[in-house]
Amino acid sequence: MFVIDDGKRFVIPRTEMTYPGHNMKLHENAADPEKAPVDHVMADFEDACPYEFKGEKSRKTVVEALNKLDFGKKVVTVRPNNILSPFFVGDMEAIYLGAPDKFHGIVLPKTRGPEDIHYVACVIDELERRAKWKRRTQIESLIETPQALVKAYDIATASPRMCGLIFGIADFAANLGIREVVDNQTQIFHYSKQAMVVAAKAAGLHAIDNVYLRLVRKDDTPEKKAQVEAGLREKNIGSQMLGMDGTWVIHPQQAKIANECYGPNAEQVAYAKRVIELYHAKGGGSMADPENGEMIDEATIKIAIMDLAKAVQAGDVPAEYLAEHARKSAEITGYDILEYIGRVA
């Protein structure tokens, strides 16, 4: 979870849009609320940046964008090259010394284990001190290798700066010798994705799914467009059902469908409010829902509370309403599920 605006706002991203950092036009599009209706943007120095722009060319563009553009309410992050790259230190120095308090965190690629997080956190400590940062930046770590997946919980708990884990499907598949990285992801990567989710949630972090690599092209037929969009929706619904909080997107065209998949719709919000209010009005315990006959108990109320937490972030439910019902649940069970898994501070 990103803690921003001096601790007044908490963001668990539904959509994290990645784009090449060397291209100013893409920064401008990412900042535009209509062109890029996403929760989080990430300027990339790593895989999306062509070799010829590595180093000073891309750094100059990213720093200029961070200082010049208004990204509104979006979480703003940067992905440096990995820590073994000759570009890593220069990337970090450029953004931290050149754009203090202008972004919220970094996305660390190719994380091998908790020692990488320890090192990066120390680098950030020093750079924030040198540039007199007032904001405390956070770290999202990409889980892209079998080694990282095995150590995912240790990575997630390696620093107080950690806020999320992201599944990097392409590198992970390459390490396993898997060719298919687009279709049937929930089946092929079921264990890998949910293992990362479990590690993230055990540490109180958010879990972000990988990109969907098919895009709608200008010359696609309506049938082809519908097929691509159906694939995007299927991938994200499957990942949401594994516990992912959001997904990476590689183009604004993916944002609307992805946002829908990771946030409760109006019908789901209404259901959550109805069953919570019914449950507390009846004094708790196990009971049948009078509208559909399904059983309701404290465990199902926790699911409803989680949906309402997402609705609060979207502005569809008052935070006070959520806090009241989470408190009622905690008074009986002894623990607040929102605090336990890091949904709110």
pLDDT one-digit tens code per residue, 51-91: 999 999 999 999 999 999 999 999 999 999 999 999 999 99
- Which residue in the block uniquely carries the two structure tokens 């467009």? 225
DSSP, collapsed to helix, strand or coil, labels residue 345 as coil
Query: How confident is the prediction for the chain on average, in pLDDT?
Result: 93
pLDDT at 345: 45
Quick one: tokens of 104?
Answer: 């919220």
pLDDT at 343: 63
| Alpha-carbon gap, residue 158 to 152, rounded angstroms | 10
The answer, yes or no, to whether residue 340 has pLDDT greater than 70, is: no
pLDDT one-digit tens code per residue, 168-192: 999 999 999 999 999 999 999 999 9
Contacts of 203 (CB under 8 A, 6+ apart): 153, 156, 157, 162, 342
Q: Are 41 and 30 in contact (CB under 8 A)?
A: yes
pLDDT at 155: 98
Quickly name the fold that domain 2-262 has.
TIM Barrel (3.20.20)
Which residue has better confidence, 279 or 139?
139
pLDDT at 167: 97
Nearest Cα neighbor of 94 from 125, 127, 126, 121 is: 127
Amino acid sitting at position 141: S
Give domain limits for the chain. Answer: 2-262, 266-340
The β-bridge partners of 287 are 296
Is 135 buried (19+), middle (13-18) or exposed (0-12) by CB count in 10 A? middle
Nearest Cα neighbor of 160 from 130, 132, 138, 134 is: 138
pLDDT at 8: 76
Percent pLDDT > 70 in the chain is: 98
Q: Are 21 and 60 in contact (CB under 8 A)?
A: no
* Mean pLDDT of all residues in 108-117: 97
